[in-house]
């Protein structure tokens, strides 16, 4: 990785914005019905186009199963907490990240470019073998206010006609806002990492996408992050699974608290799922904005002191 000179960050600091007010975005008049934060409730069984059964997670053999997806800012990001098979080096669940678009006939196309767990490995292999930037998944969706269903589809006749190939449709529920919109709301990518010694920045390193793709969505009190590390680790290493998480966050006066509820990849909590705002899963950070589209995040310990370690610089993804 290319190392940069610390004065670069000093230049950025000159553009530091003190306001914690949210950045004014364009009108939401063009917001798609599919946009939002979604929780997987279970599965609906369809036979010959008829709804015959609803299988809810709370009534299943795996009541600890959890999956959350955020569809916003033109991108899709999801996390699942199902443990990996024992023969894999990483132990956590899986997740994915990429762009999305809605087509006619209620077809949602997710163009996944990275992820965690075995999904990250699958996407990485697919992209490398075909020389493409993403792996596309076409999903037939039916959005009904605060719920929606999705199932994989294909075009068997080559004429553009879509056919459902999965009789089990995922069943999702829209999650309510957990907080007011903040300046942190948005889609972010880690672009620099800063090393600290005794609270003083001593080195800055760029983070190329082909090595580590660390992306994070924060929206109205919800967050999901996904760190794809397939570019720097081998398949038989635990770190290859990357790491991801879903949870709630609070933010005020430059102080960010992220309360993780479940994880994926090689970061594996003793519990598969935690209660919202559990102190067992909270991480505290100080946040400093260089401008509306870039901020520095530094971990803090429980005594509100900066850890010896690193800071992460995130830049807003706009397309």
What is the per-residue DSSP string for 160-195? S--EE--SEEEEEEEPPPSS---TT-EEEEEEEEEE
What's the average model confidence in pLDDT over 293-316? 78
Q: What is the pTM of this model?
A: 0.87
DSSP designation for 21? S
Give the position of tokens 């680790």: 233
- Please return the burial class of 76, using the count of CB atoms within 10 Å of its CB with bins 0-12, 13-18 and 19+: buried
pLDDT confidence tier of residue 25, bands split at 50, 70 and 90: very low
Please give the pLDDT value at position 20: 59
pLDDT confidence tier of residue 57, bands split at 50, 70 and 90: very high
What's the average model confidence in pLDDT over 234-261? 96
Please give the pLDDT value at position 47: 80
Share the mean pLDDT of the chain.
86
Radius of gyration over every alpha carbon of the chain, rounded to an integer in angstroms: 20
d(C-alpha 223, C-alpha 158), whole Å: 39
Please give the pLDDT value at position 166: 73
Q: Is the pLDDT of residue 27 over 80?
A: no
Residue 174 — left, alpha, or beta (φ > 0 → left; ψ -120 to 50 → alpha)? beta
Please give the pLDDT value at position 62: 94
Domains and CATH numbers, the chain: 3-18+181-316 (2.40.128.280), 34-174 (2.40.128.280)
To the nearest whole percent, how much of the chain has pLDDT over 70?
A: 83
Chain length of the chain: 319
d(C-alpha 92, C-alpha 115), whole Å: 12
Q: Which of 153, 49, 155, 159 is nearest to 107 (CA)?
A: 153
pLDDT confidence tier of residue 141, bands split at 50, 70 and 90: very high
Q: Take residue 86 and report the two structure tokens written for it.
A: 């024992």
d(C-alpha 98, C-alpha 76), whole Å: 5
Please give the pLDDT value at position 228: 97
d(C-alpha 275, C-alpha 256), whole Å: 19
**Helix (H), strand (E) at residue 201:** strand 200-206
Please give the pLDDT value at position 26: 40
Please give the pLDDT value at position 38: 98
CB-based contacts of 48, cutoff 8 Å, min separation 6: none
């Amino acid at each position: 990785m290319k190392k940069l000179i610390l004065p670069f960050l000093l230049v950025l600091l000159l553009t530091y914005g003190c306001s914690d007010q949210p950045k004014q975005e364009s009108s939401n008049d063009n917001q798609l019905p599919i946009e939002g934060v979604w929780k997987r409730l279970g599965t609906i069984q369809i036979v010959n186009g008829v709804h015959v059964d609803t299988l809810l997670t709370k009534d299943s053999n795996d009541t600890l199963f959890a999956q959350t997806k955020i569809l916003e800012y033109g991108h899709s990001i999801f996390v699942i907490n199902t443990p990996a098979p024992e023969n894999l080096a990483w132990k956590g669940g899986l997740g994915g990240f990429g762009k999305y678009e809605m087509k006619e006939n209620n077809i949602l196309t997710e163009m996944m470019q990275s992820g965690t767990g075995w999904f990250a490995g699958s996407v990485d292999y697919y992209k490398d073998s075909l020389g493409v930037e993403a792996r596309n998944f076409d999903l037939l969706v039916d959005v009904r206010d605060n719920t929606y269903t999705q199932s994989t589809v294909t075009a068997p006749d080559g004429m553009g006609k879509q056919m459902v190939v999965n009789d089990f449709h995922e069943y999702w529920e829209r999650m309510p806002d957990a907080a007011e919109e903040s300046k942190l709301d948005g889609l972010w990518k880690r672009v620099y990492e800063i090393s600290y010694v005794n609270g003083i920045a001593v080195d800055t390193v760029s983070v190329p996408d082909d090595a580590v793709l660390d992306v994070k969505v924060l929206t109205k009190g919800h967050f999901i992050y996904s760190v794809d590390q397939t570019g720097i680790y081998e398949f038989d290493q635990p770190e290859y699974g990357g790491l991801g998480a879903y949870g709630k966050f609070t933010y005020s006066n430059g102080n960010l608290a992220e309360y993780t509820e479940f994880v994926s990849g090689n970061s594996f909590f003793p519990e598969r799922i935690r209660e919202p705002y559990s102190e067992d899963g909270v991480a505290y950070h100080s946040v400093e904005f260089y401008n509306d589209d870039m901020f520095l995040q530094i971990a803090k310990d429980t005594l509100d002191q900066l850890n010896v370690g690193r800071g992460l610089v995130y830049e807003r993804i706009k397309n």
